[in-house]
Amino acid sequence: MTAAPAGYSATMFPVENLRDWTGLDIIDTDSKKIGTLEAVYVDTLSDEPLFVTVQFGLLTRHLAFVPVVGATVTPRAVRVQYTKDQVRDAPQIPTDGELAAADEPKVFAHYHLDYGTRPERRLARR
């Protein structure tokens, strides 16, 4: 992935718009539906979107985390740069649950992303 031009976010869309897409399908690189966009999680320092949660499951609904870096928007869905299997194997929380601070590094590690060494929480739900 190339660096974003000066003045542009690497995510290529503002967080306000991303929240508007709650309820849209999340699809993988092969256009397979992973689930439904449930929430946006932003970096606590920059307020830039880092992850979305994807709701899936027929009997027991769970939320999995998926990075938004490289995501694109289609007329009816948000396409992420990860496969359905990668997302389904990611750390999950119940639909009425909350991501524990101790579990944040696991979410980043699953996608081989650098969590950093900040002592405070890195993700906040918007």
Q: What is the CATH number of the domain that holds 67?
A: 3.90.50.10
At residue 85, the pLDDT reads: 94
Residue 30 placed within a domain: yes
Identity of the amino acid at 51: F
Residue 3 in any domain: the answer is no
Report yes or no on 7 lying in a domain: no
Q: Return the pLDDT at 50.
A: 92
- pLDDT for the residue numbered 7: 38
In a domain, 58, yes or no: yes
Examine residue 4 and state whether it is found in any structural domain, yes or no.
no
Structural domain of 77:
15-125
51 in any annotated domain: yes
How far is it, in rounded angstroms, from Cα 81 to Cα 30? 10
- Overall number of domains in the chain: 1
Find all residues with CB under 8 Å of 91, minimum gap 6, and list them. 64, 65, 99, 103, 106, 107, 110
pLDDT at 83: 95
pTM reported for the whole predicted model:
0.81
Q: In the prediction, which pLDDT does 1 show? A: 39
Name residues of the chain where pLDDT drops below 50: 1-12, 15
